[in-house]
Amino acid sequence: MLKTISQAKQTVTAPANAAPAKRIIPPKMKVVRGNQQGIEGINMLIFGTWGSGKTYTIKALLEAGYKVLYLNTDLGGNGLKSFTIPMRAEGKVDLLENLAIIPPLEDVDDFVTFVDKPESVFPDIYTFDPDFIFWDGLHGFQQFHIAREIADLETKDGIRTIEDEFSVSGKEWQLVRNATLNSVHKFLKLNNKMTGKVWHRIITCQEDVRNAKNEIGSDPNHRGVEQKVPLIQGQAKQLMAGAFDLIIRTKKDNEGKYRYVFSGRDNSVQAKKRGFDLPDEMPADFGKLWETLAKQDGIVRDAKNETYVQQES
């Protein structure tokens, strides 16, 4: 896989005297029956407008005694104050010891380095051993970090004009889509490769409002309906939805209290609750939500899956 988007336009050729390519034999894979399947982490996408309680989710996890690894790709820094200030006011500063914060990832290369080799960014990641890894700001990663890489690509004559900056070609949209999907896929595969402990993954992004069109996954009976959807551009929005077990919308009610939305009438919310028995909407208590998810999926704390352990070569 190419490390950066800019490398995608480079053509790689082998020298004339190069040795024949060696055949790569994939590792043996163990086929298991459904009742023998190892525990998998739960993948969640949480979206909503700013101030709707997305990052606040971490407060409930820390209060329940879980460890959280946090990384941010949003604009202008992170939103940790939304829960660190209340925790300090409640005398719960000691719980922040279970929160590890990755330094700001300034570009695509930084992010790729982290998902490919997390220990190169956080050497103690496998001993800290989080229960949850929390990626805050997927929309910023796609629309700022990836977009900046695209803007750095040269045009045919080597000069990028103002018109080029505001006009994205079909090929460049493909690069945006692929970079988004590859990044999400790699993040959602992170686990403790030393012990096999299962990590659960949460990604957040802002909310967009769109009309349902003839898109991948759209229901013909609901086209034209105004939808609350994750703020992800292009086909990546539809394609990446399959990677998540839960897609949760956050909002504030008329009393200013946070709520979780798992489905909407007439397809008004792009949400998802794969196999889980959950109400359409509930108060935003992630501690209670997680108890329900873990019970229904048979997950116990510190669960391990031996297939995640990386064997030494």
Tell me the per-residue pLDDT of 253-311, one tens digit each, with 9 for 90 and over. Answer: 999 899 999 986 656 778 888 899 999 999 999 999 999 999 999 888 888 887 777 75
Of residues 217 and 68, more confidently modeled: 68
Domain with 73 in it: what CATH number?
3.40.50.300
Mean pLDDT, to the nearest integer, of 241-258?
A: 92
Q: How many angstroms separate the CA atoms of 197 and 301, rounded?
A: 10
Q: Per residue in 36-84, pLDDT tens?
A: 556 789 999 999 998 899 999 999 999 999 999 999 998 777 789 999 9
| Residue 196 covered by a domain | yes
Q: Per residue in 79-119, pLDDT tens?
A: 899 999 999 999 999 999 999 999 888 788 899 999 999 99
Helix axes 170-187 and 108-116, enclosed angle (nearest 10): 40
Does residue 5 have a pLDDT over 60?
Answer: no
Looking at residue 140, its pLDDT comes to 86
Domain that holds residue 49: 38-308
Q: Which long-range contacts (CB under 8 A, 24 or more apart) does 84-89 make?
A: 86/59, 87/59, 87/62
Does residue 8 have a pLDDT over 50?
Answer: no
Domains contained in the chain, number: 1
Mean pLDDT, to the nearest integer, of 151-172?
A: 53
| Residue 292 covered by a domain | yes
Task: Please state which of the ranges 10-14, 68-72, 95-99, 155-159 shows the lowest mean pLDDT.
Answer: 10-14
| Residue 113 covered by a domain | yes
User: Do the bridges between strand 132-136 and strand 68-72 make them parallel or antiparallel, or are there none, so unpaired?
Assistant: parallel
Sequence-distant (6+) residues with CB within 8 A of 123 are none
Looking at residue 37, its pLDDT comes to 57
Sequence-distant (6+) residues with CB within 8 A of 5 are 108, 146, 149, 150, 153, 175, 179
Looking at residue 6, its pLDDT comes to 42
Looking at residue 79, its pLDDT comes to 83
Sign of CA dihedral 83, 88, 92, 93: positive
Looking at residue 258, its pLDDT comes to 93
Share of the chain above pLDDT 70, in %: 74
Calculate the average pLDDT of the chain. Answer: 80
| Residue 97 covered by a domain | yes
| Residue 30 covered by a domain | no
